[in-house]
Structure 1
Amino acid sequence: MTPAVPATLERPHFIGIGGAGMSGIAKILTLRGARVAGSDARESETTAALRALGATVRVGHDAAHLDERASCVVVSSAIRDGNPELVAARGRGIPVLHRSEALAALMADRRAIAVAGTHGKTTTTSMLAVALRTLGLRPSYAIGGDLDTPASNAEHGEGELFVAEADESDRSFHRYAPEVAIVLNVELDHHATYASMDELHASFETFAERIQPGGTLVVNADQEGARKLTARLLGREDLRLVTYGEADDADVRVLAVTPTGTGLSSEVTVELDGRRLTVPVSVPGRHYAHNAVAALAAGVAAGVDATELARALASYTGVRRRLQPKGEAGGVRVIDTYAHHPTEMAADLAALRAAASDGGRILVVFQPHLFSRTRELGAEMGRALTAADASVILDVYPAREDPIPGVTSRIVADAVQGPGTGAHTGLDRDAAVRLVAGMARPGDLVLTMGAGDVTDLGPEILAHLAAPSSPPAQGG
């Protein structure tokens, strides 16, 4: 396919261009020949990678950064109304697009596969994109996390398929009109957007209604929220429903998940259209095995051969921040995960427990993400951390939110009832690093967990493990 850029996107300016979702769209537009510019609060590997592709990227937010010739300004929901570049764009009459509108425009001339759900979107989108690429189908894709190197979260491909992560957090996934969609699970989150499960189900139902007539929705048969969504959609004559999971009534049924190697990978056996297939999965845990099955079902719905796709899924080797190994020092392995919702946290901890060496402990450095989420789910986060042998809990990462009086990481810590040394709070980042490195012993796993900048601590922990220089810090 010939690269195509809508006129509005010929000279886009991205506010927050280094963000996970924004950078991918900026990359695709750059590769399609658009004159991409943007700004971000700080320099990063991602902004450097975008510059190397030809984008103009400036650090800091200033009205002077906005070129008079910009055809539009692209923003995410994280950009506040008072941002000087956004204020300047509105003052000059430059069109302002939400990032989902830009992504929808890029998908319009492709056969789109959209991956939605409260958890697992990035992994599942990555699995399918990598497998399709391995099969030589040259897909385009936009993912909410890097596969390996910076700016590897998106690609412009010459093929007809476009795989995209569909975000429910701000209802922006209502803008997509895919041929095939996946709903991995439906759980209440994003409390600033949704006040109830009924609101959330209505939002996912709207997403499903946007699937093209005659298209397919692949939906989890095991998760309660997803099953309720399926029930709401039954009887739709223009929508094909394909369920997957371990449930007896699943259309694509998971028969077995078998750990392989050191336990950090597995093989999942499925039954699809009366045939048994084995799907290799490079990451541990039943939840990731189920993600691979969802990717398989969606690819098959788009016309890809099931046997070839099952084999190609073996080429997926993980994505940054999804149980990503960061290194080993002193016999201690350090792993990083984006998990920040209680369900994700519990699933990743269960997967690591199964993969841990005999006698090895799991030590977690956790950073709650968003004050609203901590207020509503903090106690559940703490209960999830009970599965760890010890937890160091950092202050809440605010992201786009202002503080809420009385909402602190203490809500999480007070709900932890784990064995060993329990939960520690009241530490700054340096003290947290020293504490967890001082506690760790050969055979242990250290897990940095959360959607904020806790990911930066992995290398620091490894450095302390390799050359301990101070006694462990004390926390409350």
Structure 2
Amino acid sequence: MNTQQPLDPHGLGRVHFIGMGGAGMSAVARLLLARGVAVSGSDAKDSAGLRQLEALGATVFVGQSAAHVADAATVVVSTAITETNLELAAARAAGARILHRSQALAAAMHGRNVIAVAGTHGKTTTSSMAAVALQAAGMDPSWAVGAHVPDLGANAGFGSGDWFVAEADESDGSFLTYHPRIAIITNVEPDHLDHYGSAEAFYAAFEAFCDTIRPGGTLVACADDPGADRLARRRRDCGEAVLTYGQDPAADVVVLDATPHGTGSSCTLTFDHDGARRTVALTLAVPGAHNVADAAAAFTAGLAAGADPDLLAEGLGSFHGSSRRFDPKGEDGGVRVFDDYAHHPTEVAAALTAARDVAQGHRVLAVFQPHLYSRTREFAEAFCRALEIADLACVTDVFGAREEPQPGITGAAITGHASDDRVVSTPSAEEAIETVVARARPGDVIMTIGAGDVTALGPRILSALAQR
């Protein structure tokens, strides 16, 4: 991955995005449009996102053709675009500049102080919270997040302020591109071993990420997470600025009295500010201990950016979540349905624990779709243990995404570790829907969980509940 200093966006010429409808690509396209750059893009199918970009001034193509890149000076690709892609091949033959999505995002950030949010879990929520909190503090930040943020109206936006909040994706090493002024590390737990090959290489990538922080910049790290805390200690030993947060009494921002409140939560934060010990109460509209931790991360980064702590707390209280993060889909017959993007065992456990808080003594039923064959193979037993937090968890076939099927790796690789009938194999979506709907009673919570197309099941579950 190219980690050189970012390009000036106004030197890119016309920029063409291959696969512009994707969440990450559309965010960068939106930002470059806001900076006055000529943008075009293609995607295999039409979408509302493409039409929104067209309304903002982008030239949009449905389907691909070499003609689409004929006069493009710069072509942007994601890791998913292969060298055999006909638009990429044509761009290379024409001598166009080829940028990875992360490099184009770095160009869109040019001239701003970057807050880059990294970590195995919680990146999207933390970066969304940070952007909302800084906006409430009157700092008018720019932002780029891996999901639609209802409180911000989009997944990306360009503000007039000095700060730019960006979700920094570690999955392919592209988070080494951004050179942040403030870097947040929520946690470090091995994942994406299909790319890194080993846990040691994964940890080394986060060390390299810390080394990309600009001189005089600050690392914000979770004191409760061993991996993040290790990076904080390493950076402090080098004499660099670090702020930690968490329930650890030694943290710079200490989280006290974290308490669930139905679909919300609350806590108290204590910290030093302007030479005095301060206390701020946080009342959040999102559930779960993981959201409390993410709010503390966003708050700590806001302090490092010079924002008023009371205004930060007010902004965090106004945050209502990001798309696909404990996302309410509806209710029928007293049964509430939520959707969550969790696709790692730790994330699944956090989502189901939050669902227990929301259910308030009623049952939690889940439909889980494993994401990637490699991840399912590596974490099959851990997924099963996490799913046992639910009263019933239906495990579907694996959503392979970019990977080819692997022999013996199906949803049954997870359910084979079950010690009782709480975690069951339901290979098809239809079977999973039928199973949870048949068991659901008033007051129960049903969750669809996973990074694949399981998100589409929420409306179907609600329809089935209505027909009982």
TM (norm. structure 2) is 0.94
Q: Which residue of 2 aligns with 1:48?
A: 51
Question: Equivalent of 2:42, from 39, 43, 46?
Answer: 39
Equivalence for 1:287: 290
User: Does structure 2 conserve the Cα–Cα contact (< 8 Å) formed by 1:9 and 1:102?
Assistant: no
Deviations 1:226-279 (A, max 9, x none): 122223323223x2011111112111111111223xx11111101111211112
Structure 1 distance, partners of 2:63, 2:364, is 39
> Is the 8 Å Cα contact of residues 137 and 307 (structure 2) preserved in structure 1?
no
Partner of 1:443: 443
1:419-443 Cα deviation digits (max 9, x unpaired): 55x413232x233323322322211
Q: Aligned partner of 1:116: which letter? A: A
Whole-Å separation in 1 of the counterparts to 2:188 and 2:65: 39
Say whether the 8 Å CA contact 2:132–2:152 is kept in structure 1. no
Provide the secondary structure at the position in 1 that maps to 2:267: strand
Partner of 1:143: 145
SS at match of 2:139: coil
1:143 offset after TM fit, Å? 0.2
Give the AA of the match of 2:104.
A
3-state SS in 2 of match to 1:381: helix
Residue equivalent to 1:474? none
Are the structure 2 counterparts of residues 435 and 117 from structure 1 closer, same or farther at C-alpha, using a change threshold of 3 Å?
same
Alignment partner, residue 13 of structure 1 = 16
Q: CA deviation at 1:150?
A: 11
Assess if the C-alpha contact under 8 Å between 1:24 and 1:151 holds in 2. Answer: no
Retained in 1: the 8 A contact 2:40–2:58?
yes
5 Å matches for 1:297-308? 297-308=300-311
Output the CA distance in 2 between the equivalents of 1:127 and 1:416. Answer: 36
Q: 1:247 aligns to what?
A: 248
Which residue is equivalent to 1:471?
Answer: none
Kindly provide the CA deviation profile for residues 45-104 of structure 1, in whole angstroms up to 9, marking residues without a partner as x.
32222222222222233334x231112111111112211111111121111100110111
Map 1:415-434; keep pairs closer than 5 Å.
415-417=417-419, 420=422, 422-427=423-428, 429-434=429-434
Q: Any residues of structure 2 matched to 1:200-349 within 5 Å, and which?
A: 200-237=202-239, 239-260=240-261, 263-273=262-272, 274-349=277-352
> RMSD in angstroms over aligned alpha carbons?
1.8
Deviations 1:401-455 (A, max 9, x none): 12222221111121233555x413232x233323322322211111000011111
Tell me the distance in 1 between the aligned counterparts of 2:151 and 2:94: 37
Kindly indicate whether the alpha-carbon contact (under 8 Å) linking 1:5 and 1:29 is maintained by their aligned counterparts in 2.
no
Q: Matched residues in 1 for 2:62 and 2:150: separation? A: 24
Mean CA deviation greater in 318-327 or 195-204: 195-204
Contact 1:185 1:226 (8 Å CA) reproduced: yes
SS in 2 for 1:153: strand
What CA distance in whole angstroms lies between the structure 1 residues aligned with 2:462 and 2:317?
A: 29
Q: 1:134 Cα deviation (Å)?
A: 2.4
Q: Which residue of 2 aligns with 1:401?
A: 403
Q: 1:353 aligns with which of 352, 356, 369?
A: 356
Q: Aligned equivalents of 1:230 and 1:447: distance in 2?
A: 35
In 1, distance between residues paired with 2:380 and 2:18?
Answer: 31
Q: 1:417 to 1:51 in 2, by over 3 A?
A: farther
Q: Match of 1:385?
A: 387
SS where residue 193 of structure 1 aligns?
helix
Q: Is the 8 A contact 1:121 1:184 kept in 2?
A: yes
Corresponding residue of 2:4 = none
Please list the CA deviations of residues 287-323 of structure 1 after superposition, one character each: whole Å capped at 9, or x if unmatched.
Answer: 1101000000001101111122112211211111110
* SS of match in other structure, 1:17: coil
Equivalent position of 2:62 in the other structure: 59
Q: Which moved more, 1:407-416 or 1:18-27?
A: 407-416
* In 2, Cα distance between equivalents of 1:288 and 1:248: 19
The equivalent of 2:161 in structure 1 is 159
Listed one character per residue, the Cα deviations across residues 345-366 of structure 1 (whole Å, up to 9, x for unaligned) are 00111111122133x2111111
User: Contact between 2:284 and 2:317, CA under 8 Å: does it hold in 1?
Assistant: yes
Look up the SS of the partner of 2:69 in the other structure.
Answer: coil
In the alignment, which residue of structure 1 is the partner of 2:88? 86
| Cα distance between partner residues in 2 of 1:48 and 1:440 | 39
Contact 1:364 1:390 in 2 (8 A): yes
| Secondary structure in 1 matching 2:394 | strand
The 3-state SS of whatever aligns with 2:352 is helix
Q: Is the 8 A contact 1:142 1:154 kept in 2?
A: yes
Offset at 1:158? 1.2
Cα pair distance change 1:349/1:407, threshold 3 Å: same
Deviation at residue 213 of structure 1 after TM alignment: 0.8
Mapped partners of 2:416, 2:11: distance in 1: 51
Separation in 1, partners of 2:360, 2:420: 19
With normalisation by structure 1, the TM-score equals 0.92
Structure 1 counterpart of 2:236, one-letter code: L
Alignment partners' CA distance in 2, 1:149 and 1:295:
15
Q: Is the 8 A contact 2:326 2:338 kept in 1?
A: yes
Query: Which amino acid letter does the alignment assign opposite residue 424 of structure 1?
Result: S
- SS at the partner of 1:415? coil
- In 2, the alpha carbon distance for the partners of 1:418 and 1:134 equals 48
Distance 2:314 2:70 in 1: 50
> Which amino acid in the other structure matches residue 130 of structure 2?
L
Structure 2 residue runs of 5 or longer lacking an equivalent are: 1-6
Q: Hey, what's the Cα distance between the residues in 2 that align with 1:51 and 1:431?
A: 39
CA distance in 1, matches of 2:66, 2:284: 47
Query: In the alignment, which residue of structure 2 is the partner of 1:472?
Result: none
Report if the CA contact (8 A) 1:387-1:418 is conserved.
Answer: no
What is the alpha-carbon distance in structure 1 between the residues aligned to residue 116 and residue 151 of structure 2? 23
Report how far residue 125 of structure 1 moved.
0.3
SS in structure 2 of the partner of residue 234 of structure 1: helix
Task: Among all aligned residue pairs of Structure 1 and Structure 2, give the percentage whose two residues are the same amino acid.
Answer: 50
Paired with 2:22 and 2:317, the residues of 1 have a C-alpha distance of 28
Amino acid at match of 2:110: A
Q: Which amino acid aligns with 1:268?
A: C
